[in-house]
Structure 1
Amino acid sequence: MGQKQPTIKSPRGSSSLVLAREREVAKSEAINALLLRPIAILPAELGDPIRPFALGLWNDIRPLLKPDISVSALREAMATYVHARSYQIAVARPGSMRHDIDGEPVGPVSDADRLDALKKYEGFKARNGSSVKASVSSLAASASKCDAISAHLLRRKDAPR
């Protein structure tokens, strides 16, 4: 048997998948309402997994826009979904996969994208008054050595000189 993938601790528990709540389902319904047909990558009901989008997925979604809907409305709805905390947690999870429009996995999330999502998640926590240091230490305990080094280098790069 293979080793179990370490997970990043999140406010929603320790499962390896991030599951949709009412908020994410509502955002998905708003996106699907703008399209000619629903897209399977979005959670349709409570408890469906939130799946990171494949790079370039916009090019598959854009042609499905209803003729009477503006592109900017679709961009806003998509941005609301992908910039949400739950989506960022799903991207930040070690071993997370990107998915196509039909919800099928197409490849792993890159380390750079995963670390960027983690940084955004830490920003959410900092704005809510949570302890960023505690979550960084829990990440260090669960992340691989390569991830820990990358995270350290990113923090050092952002530090004022």
Structure 2
Amino acid sequence: MDQKAEATKSPRARSGPVLAREREVAKTEAINALLTRPIAILPAKVGDPVRPFALGLWNDIRPLLKPDVSVSALRKAMATYVHSRSYQIAVARVGSLRHNIKGEPVEPVLEADRLDALKKYEGFQTRDGSSNAKSTSPVQLTKTEAIRIALLRRKEKPR
């Protein structure tokens, strides 16, 4: 397969890293505009990988806030990014690693976090009107994971 065709494939269809699109880059530029210096974990250009944040990364980012910017503005910008479809796919991928502020991998994503991200991703598909969320899932589920998700859905439905 040539590189052009590979680059146009949906990030959900591949098992490699999730690559940033224009909308993710715009969100990261908004975050970096609020900081005294850009942070390396965020994708700087289209095609850079979207990497899951290390737990507690907020404590490293918060001190970089420009003095004239409110903390709530930074929280909103960060929330917009971490609740995006691409970020959730990156977290949901099997074997995903969390990264520190420098963009270096520090720990694997916990299974519970991965399943939660997968559930959020499926919620995006439901809102988009997709009728078959399971067939376009960004990750291949094991039988145990599929059963776990089915049981979680059962608990959520009112009786």
If the TM-score is normalised by the length of the shorter chain, which range does it land in?
0.7 to 0.9
SS of the equivalent of 1:150 reads helix
State how far apart, in whole Å, the 1-side matches of 2:21 and 2:135 are. Answer: 27
State how far apart, in whole Å, the 2-side matches of 1:49 and 1:109 are. Answer: 16
| Post-superposition CA distance 1:14-66 (Å, at most 9, x none) | 24211001111111111011111110000001100000111111011000001
2:147 pairs with 132, 138, 149, which one?
Answer: 149
Q: What is the one-letter code of the residue matched to 2:89? A: I
For structure 2, the residue ranges without an aligned partner over 5 or more in a row are: 1-8
| Post-superposition CA distance 1:94-117 (Å, at most 9, x none) | 111111111111111111111111
For structure 1, the residue ranges without an aligned partner over 5 or more in a row are: 1-9
Q: What is the one-letter code of the residue matched to 2:62? A: R
Q: May I ask how many residue pairs the two structures share in their alignment?
A: 149
SS of the equivalent of 1:107 reads strand
Q: CA deviation at 1:152?
A: 2.0
Identify the residue that residue 44 of structure 1 maps to in structure 2.
44
SS of the equivalent of 2:107 reads strand
| Post-superposition CA distance 1:58-85 (Å, at most 9, x none) | 0110000011110011001001100111
Is residue 2:56 matched to residue 1:56?
Answer: yes
Percent identical among aligned pairs is: 72
Identify the residue that residue 32 of structure 2 maps to in structure 1.
32
Identify the residue that residue 80 of structure 1 maps to in structure 2.
80
User: Mapping of 1:1-161 within 5 angstroms?
Assistant: 11-12=10-11, 13-131=13-131, 134-136=132-134, 142-161=140-159
Q: CA deviation at 1:138?
A: 6.0
Contact 1:111-1:147 at 8 Å conserved across structures: no
> Structure 2 length normalisation: TM-score?
0.87
Q: What is the one-letter code of the residue matched to 1:54? A: A
State how far apart, in whole Å, the 2-side matches of 1:137 and 1:28 are. Answer: 30
